[in-house]
A and B are shown apart, each in its own frame.
Chain A
Amino acid sequence: MTVPNPLQGDAENKSVVATPITRQEQTASTEVMDRRSFLKLLFLGWAAFAAVAAGFGTMLLRYLFPNVLFEPKQSFSAGFIGDYNVGEVSERFKKQHRVWIVRDSEKIFALSTVCTHLGCTPNWLPNENKFKCPCHGSGYYRTGINFEGPAPRPLERFKISLSPDGEIIVDKTVKFQQEKGEWSDPDSFIVT
């Protein structure tokens, strides 16, 4: 004897059981889910799914923010003015802080070592007196102005200042862009 499936309609059962109305069939038809309880279950199911998805979502979002961030300090001391010769491009802090310290006849400024085209690190070529990017050939003068290759704008300069005891402090959280006319800002260089 087959046990009627409550979810299957009457038509199916009639074909299996020959007698028109049996007790078993009556109980079966009452067990067929009505619209209200079906919607309830559906709602419950989707609510559970949404809750799980939301939980995983928040976990994923949380994962994007690391517990500990090993970043070098955004501002650092770059020694004294006397450490730099006039006309020198210093690569002392290139590796650790990604900054060139440049001194010309009047001032000292800090140049970012990130190419403004696609973010490679250009090389300082003392013989040719220019920065040259190995990725797409952008070239910059020692001032940071772009003059060859695809770089759309000059290198960025960082905030540079003197501490009370005469040390040079470079603050990378503040940057100055030439195309916005920010290089005349007194924070962007130290007069020597």
Chain B
Amino acid sequence: MEAFKDFVNHVTRPRVLFPLLLVFTVLMFPPNEILFKINKKLRLYKLWTRMGGIIFFSLMIAFFAFGLTDPNFKKIVTKPDNVPIVGLLFLVNFFLWVSMKQAYENDARMDEGKESSEAGDAKEKVLVWPDLVYIEFISLILCTILLMVWSILLKAPLEEPANPTVSPNPSKAPWYFLGLQEMLVYFDPWLAGVVFPTVIILGLMAIPYLDSNKKGRGYYSFKERKMAISIFVTLWLLFWIFLITVGTFLRGPNWNFFGPFEYWDVNKLEVLTNVNLSEYFYMIWFKRQVPQNIILRELPGFFLMVSYFGILPPLLAKTLFRNIFKNLGAFRYSVFVVLLLIAASLPMKMFLRWAFNIKYIIAIPEFFFNI
């Protein structure tokens, strides 16, 4: 048992967990034919069947049931603040499973030449009163009961009046902001707090203009919208749900990482001394002083950024995204690819921090310009 706990503690270090989850998510939701074939070969799509769902959720419940026997795990998971996040983990996975199950069933039906199972819905007529209003009324009563039971069983986590000189350790944002708080660990406030949220909102607004696929409207289907579903689910699961989970369960005192079975030790010593890319470049690889001149000093970072946003898009248009470029045209393709690259830069920087303690790619603290 102890060995299993140790194993979990090691696997849940983000530098291990994140790449694992990324590979797993991309294989579960393959964006193109090649990965789709791998998915088929590994029989991963079996998760989207009744049996797969029963096994998956049994494992999940078993993990939490086992975890509750551990005092450290129990303390964090049963904290009134965190109970809804446990619910969120189950609910997100459940609804994802339900919709993917329906999508795969529809894909199978359509392969046989039949209509999607939702096609009949449009022909059937249902009355608002009483059919819909009754359902709404019953849901309303059930939700009220749930909220009342919840408020009786779990105490509201109220604390003493705010005091600017006392920051609780760890200080956590409300759960829906934990993704942003986690982003703020890797980026300066102007990027993580201003630019990224704006880009996220603009990117969501841009989706209808970027997605030219006319299939899969009004019915569940995976096969017909592989790329769209893959991108959305990966971003949603890994950059929002995963970051909220990490912020809730794995971030402890002094904002250090703790495994789920680890004691939250305020004095846990973690060596995290930051190194900028310029320091890596000049001091470690070339064994010399970092130059005084700002432009010269940050040349490696500038080079990296320019090639990432300048050279990569045309390169991808010629190779991986050839069809997308043809479908969307130059302008919409550029918007699509820049949004995608910005989204991808986030986990890249996070991983660089976890694995190599890289702080900034471009570091000009003199002008508040750090990336």
Contact = CB atoms under 8 A, between A and B. Distances in A.
Interface string A160-181: 0000000000000000000100
Contacts of B49: none
A137 to B, nearest CB: 3
Interface string B157-192: 000000011111111000000000100111111000
Interface in A110-144: 113, 117-118, 120-123, 125, 127-128, 132-137, 139
Given A123-B167, A150-B185, 6 more contacts: A120-B171, A121-B166, A136-B181, A149-B274, A150-B359, A152-B368
A95 B169 contact: no
A146 B276 CA distance: 13
7 contacts: A118-B189, A118-B193, A120-B167, A121-B164, A121-B165, A150-B359, A153-B365
Interface of B is mostly: loop
A98 B164 contact: yes
B345 to A, nearest CB: 16
A117 B192 CA distance: 12
Contacts of B189: 117-118
Contacts of A94: 165
Contact of B167 (A128, A133, A152): A133
A134 B266 CA distance: 10
B61 to A, nearest CB: 32
A134 B255 contact: yes
A139 B272 contact: yes
Contacts of B366: 179
B269 interface: yes
Contact of A128 (B166, B171, B187, B269): B269
Contacts of A49: none
A128 B273 CA distance: 13
Contacts of A147: 273-274
